[in-house]
Amino acid sequence: MLQTYGKSDVTYDWYAGNSGVVGRSGKFIAAHAAHAGLMMFWAGAFGLFELARYDSSIPMGAQKAIVLPHLAGIGIGGIENGVITEPYGIVVICTLHLIFSAVLGAGGLLHSNKFAGDLGDYPENSKPQKFDFEWDDPDKLTFILGHHLIFLGLGAIMFVEWARIHGIYDPAIGSTRQVIYNLDIAAIWNHQFDFLKIDSLEDVMGGHAFLAFLEIIGGVFHICTKQFGEYTEFKGKGLLGAEAILSYSVVGVSYMAFVAAFWCASNTTIYPVDLYGEPLKLQFEFAPYFTDTVDLGSGVYSSRAWLANTHFYLGFFFLQGHLWHALRAMGFDFKKIGQAFDNIENTKITQN
């Protein structure tokens, strides 16, 4: 559960965020669906916004675009030497995102207002109850985790097959080409230490194919297995809970944001110069940040700079969120910090 500071009858206001889904698995699904809908809506709407402002006479990397370069990178838009030649494909993809966002939003509203707030309220052995869970139940959490991993694996397979059948943008030739994955385990292992320097699209697809295999195998494992014997501290007892699991999730997102930031800043195979602009350099003033190595004019920053810095600072704030929730999960009472400052102030007043 969320930190209650030793009180058993804590109630939260409607705006108290995560507390709204504590102990209510149906509401948890509603929040997930609505959140996915918001992300879908942003991607579709912002893609159309960037397309409306797109100027083919200016390099894409100098137009502060972040959605268009990603779509161009997977070969959508008839890209030739970094220039969009067939915008219709981008319109279709963005429109589909808007439609799916409405479907997901409707699903969130349906789960929130029509279906039971707690899936455990459904009849025994029904499909909804199959996905009911408690935060301290390792068997049910590993079962649900398994389904997540399988879907992630299927997504990776779809990307690999898209590159094989349709093709993705190759900056070496300035156009889209079909890429057959290179499933070289030794190369994949070695690239975990120098992934920022990967210069082969075949190796990139091979890494995704291997990742898909691991995720699906891991998903099947988590669905089919349960804790054997007593659930002890050795097996992780005490590490589960809404606050703890949230902290693990947030630090995972933070890690991915940092990796994406440095990869975007330096790699020109996955993030082509044609689409994102020249590689960046890392500087430090009040805080670290990435800056362009090419002067694009006063107040103009490359798409690469926008994307890398956004990922970097989001990763930083996600990391702070992880520390906050991890400490709360460990039982730390943040109210004691305020009390400590009050005591210091009262001591000063008394001494004076």
The C-alpha angle 257, 262, 267, rounded to 5 degrees, equals 125
DSSP 22-37: TT-HHHHHHHHHHHHH
Structure token digits, residue 172: 């070496």
Summarised one tens digit per residue, pLDDT across range 221-256 is 888 877 666 767 666 666 777 778 888 889 999 999
Please say if the pLDDT value at position 267 is more than 80.
Answer: yes
CA 53 to chain CA centroid, Å, is 27
What is the pLDDT confidence band of residue 328, given thresholds at 50, 70 and 90? confident
Give the largest CA-CA distance in the chain: 79
Q: What does the pLDDT read at residue 14? A: 58
DSSP-assigned beta bridge partners for residue 170:
175
Q: How far is CA 333 from CA 21, 23, 191, 316, 318, in A?
A: 22, 22, 42, 23, 20
Cβ–Cβ < 8 Å for 40, 106: no
Please say if the pLDDT value at position 2 is more than 70.
Answer: no
> Is pLDDT larger for residue 11 or for residue 100?
100
Q: What does the pLDDT read at residue 195? A: 79
What is the pLDDT confidence band of residue 212, given thresholds at 50, 70 and 90? very high
At 329, which amino acid appears? A
Q: What does the pLDDT read at residue 9? A: 64
Domain range list for the chain: 23-134, 136-240, 241-352
Mean pLDDT of the chain: 85
Within 13 Å, how many C-alpha atoms sit on residue 272's CB side? 28
Summarised one tens digit per residue, pLDDT across range 106-132 is 999 988 888 877 777 777 777 777 777
What is the pLDDT confidence band of residue 294, given thresholds at 50, 70 and 90? confident
Average pLDDT over residues 196-210: 90
Q: What does the pLDDT read at residue 153? A: 95
